Amino acid sequence: MNDQMTSLRKRGKMNNGFDPASAAALDDRTRDFVERRARLLGPAYRLFYSNPVEFTRAEGVFLYDAEGRDYLDAYNNVVSVGHCHPKINAAISDQMGRLCTHTRYIQDGILDFAERLLDTFEDDIGHVMFTCTGSEANDLALRMAKYHTGNEGIIVTSEAYHGNSELTSGFSPSMGENTPLGTWVRRVPAPDTYRTDAEDLGAWMVDHVERQINDLQRRGQGVAAFVADSLFTSDGVFDPPPGVLAQIVERVRAAGGLFVADEVQCGFARIGSHMWGYQRHGVVPDIVSMGKPMGNGYPVAGIAVRPEVAAAFGNDMRYFNTFGGNTVAMAAAQATFDVIEEEGLQANCARVGALLEEGLQALAAGDERIGDVRGAGLYYGVEMIRDPESRAPDGARALALVNELRARRVLISATGFHGNVLKIRPQLVFRPEHVARFLEELNGAMKAVA
């Protein structure tokens, strides 16, 4: 890692974050915005790209800047069924015009949506609870896991991100060295399919998990939960073969802990083969947390949970979230779900994702700077390396590519500890022509970033 990356990491680095020290290089309008933001919002917010971009409107898979130029959105996991989808807009404004209230009155919308959502999970999962953000969902999941197991320890992967609250940032190591981790948190490496042989991966992961379990037990903390995003997206996007996750979960359960599947990134049809990322691994979680794409931009999130895990927590305490599960949130979530089904978006992710993967693999085959292409459905990581022998991560090149693509009006970002993995996460409504434009620009960017 070079000095600049080291210092960014210490300051709360973000892969692909704009460095305010380079503001002098911006055009007048952008610089004014950057300075105004810093003055009004303070120093904690980060912008994307070395040349931050301003958008004024959006539609489908495109965002438009102030001059009306279109940018292909190959990164958006919030407005994931298309920017400004008319059906969802109509459902939100219609509901807002009739009634918007919380969960302490009887309403059918929340029950209709709960029924529909529960149908997508295995029978063992019997309740859903609603929050506004993924952080709140994970916060609730972990409070429940701790209460149910009577244990404190949480095991996560080394670059995991699970949220921004006091509790969840405490088990989100990717926030950087200045964000304190809980003393009850233990880290294991992500299942690195690029640097570990597939047949060894399961045993290698279980060995790491086992050591952390032993340490937690020795200190009297025990294991409350293993929390994982099944595509390990902030670790650099890893797609371990089915079986690896199941082995880990078996070991965690034997130690009295739960498995919390964080589906904030890969849930809601994105992986193509299934509705939920964990479902590819033949393991049923104790708690599933969800968020981001759930309301196509409207803040709605939540957990799905086995009734026996929710029982004591719910009976001994109560849960109220003023905005979580409100009438409009449920209308937004229901309409988003309608669109996923009516437009066949899960199948679209599988079909269009296969085209994307094929194109990325073809590019990788002819370019030694790409070490690995991995992912599922419409979520891919492309790992940039210095050379095939050392496989040393090349974060600088990945960053240059991300910025070159931004100059070509294509939006992606970078992920992983070294920021050397291109993070490609198009909207679920990507079509073959969008893949073609994406690959053409990536090809051009690879040539430009020599």
Ligand X SMILES: Cc1ncc(COP(=O)(O)O)c(C=O)c1O
Which residues contact ligand X by CB under 6 A?
Answer: 133-135, 138, 161-164, 229, 262, 264-265, 291-292, 301
Smallest distance from ligand X to CB 105, Å: 26
d(CA 298, CA 323): 11
CA distances from 115 to 44, 121, 125 (A): 39, 10, 12
**Count of Cβ atoms closer than 10 Å to residue 408 Cβ:** 17
Nearest position to ligand X, beta carbon: 134
Angle between helices 134-149 and 307-316 (to 10 degrees): 90
Cα–Cα distance between 68 and 195 in angstroms, integer?
Answer: 44
Question: Which CB atom, from 265 or from 420, has the smaller least distance to ligand X?
Answer: 265
CA distances from 184 to 113, 149, 153, 159, 171 (A): 35, 14, 5, 16, 9
Q: Which residue has the tokens 């993924």?
A: 134
Cβ at position 303, least distance to ligand X in Å: 12
Report the residue number, 237 or 445, with the smaller CB distance to ligand X.
Answer: 237
**C-beta closer to ligand X: residue 222 or 416:** 416
Minimum Å distance from CB 3 to ligand X? 28
Q: Residue 69's CB: how many other CB atoms inside 10 A?
A: 11
Q: How far is the CB of 80 from ligand X (least distance, A)?
A: 13
Minimum distance from residue 233 beta carbon to ligand X (Å): 7
Output 231 or 398, the one with its CB closest to ligand X: 231
CA distances from 402 to 49, 136, 300, 415 (A): 8, 30, 29, 11
Nearest distance from C-beta of residue 162 to ligand X, angstroms: 5
355 with 432: CB under 8 angstroms?
Answer: yes
What number of helices (H) and strands (E) belong to the chain? Answer: 13, 15
Identity of the residue, 13 or 369, whose beta carbon is nearer to ligand X in the bound complex:
13
Residue 315: how many CB atoms within 10 A of its CB? 8
Please state the closest distance from residue 4 (CB atom) to ligand X, in A.
24
Give the separation between CA 269 and CA 70, rounded to whole angstroms. 26
Q: Which structure tokens are listed for 449?
A: 């970033």
Q: Work out how close the CB of 309 gets to ligand X at its nearest, in angstroms, rounded to a whole number.
A: 19
CA dist., res. 221 & res. 213, Å (int): 9
- 97: number of Cβ within 10 Å: 9
Shortest Å distance, C-beta 13 to ligand X: 15
Residue 7 CB neighbour total at 10 angstroms = 12
State the DSSP string of 342-383.
Answer: HTTHHHHHHHHHHHHHHHHHHHHHT-TTEEEEEEETTEEEEE
Q: 76, 94, 169: which is closest to 330 by C-alpha?
A: 94
Which one, 221 or 234, has the nearer CB to ligand X?
234
Minimum distance from CB of 262 to ligand X (Å)?
A: 5
Structure-token pair, residue 367: 């370019």
Q: Indicate the residue among 291 and 302 with the shorter CB distance to ligand X.
A: 291
Of the two residues 16 and 135, which places its CB atom closer to ligand X in the complex? 135
Look-up of token digits 């939006």: 411
Q: Which is nearer to ligand X, 262 or 394 (CB)?
A: 262
Measured from the CB of residue 121, what is the shortest distance to ligand X in angstroms?
18
